[in-house]
Amino acid sequence: MTRHIHLPRYEPNYFVKPQRILICAPSNAAIDQIIRLVSQKGILDNEGKPSKPSLVRIGPNYHESLRDVSLEYLVTTEIGADPNKNFTDVRSTVV
């Protein structure tokens, strides 16, 4: 049985920025499972086609397999060795 997350239908407007979806769950393990499912299977776009969105896992205690999508990892990677980059500025571009 394949499960998909359905998004509401709307008329395409190519001048609108992509929307963000905040997913909340009662535990870190539940969030990790949702992240795994969305990254493996994707979600359906407004035309009903599977789409794989970019994901950012915010919060502590994430499973090690999700390190590459954690906010901490993404910000650290973006800052790199440049000490002049500001954490807050980089965070706003990642999220």
pLDDT digit string, tens, across residues 42-94:
888 777 888 888 899 988 888 999 999 998 888 888 777 566 666 666 666 66
What is the reported pLDDT for 71? 87
What is the reported pLDDT for 34? 93
Name the residue with higher pLDDT: 95 or 20.
Answer: 20
Residue 18 has pLDDT above 60, yes or no: yes
Residue 15 has pLDDT above 70, yes or no: no
**For residue 52, what are the CA distances in angstroms to 42, 71, 79, 80, 95?**
4, 18, 25, 26, 16
**Angle at the Cα of 9 from the Cα atoms of 23 and 45, rounded to 5 degrees:** 60
Instruction: Give yes or no for a contact between 63 and 33, defined as CB atoms under 8 angstroms apart.
Output: no
What is the reported pLDDT for 65? 92
Beta carbons within 10 angstroms of residue 73's beta carbon: 16
Confidence (pTM): 0.64
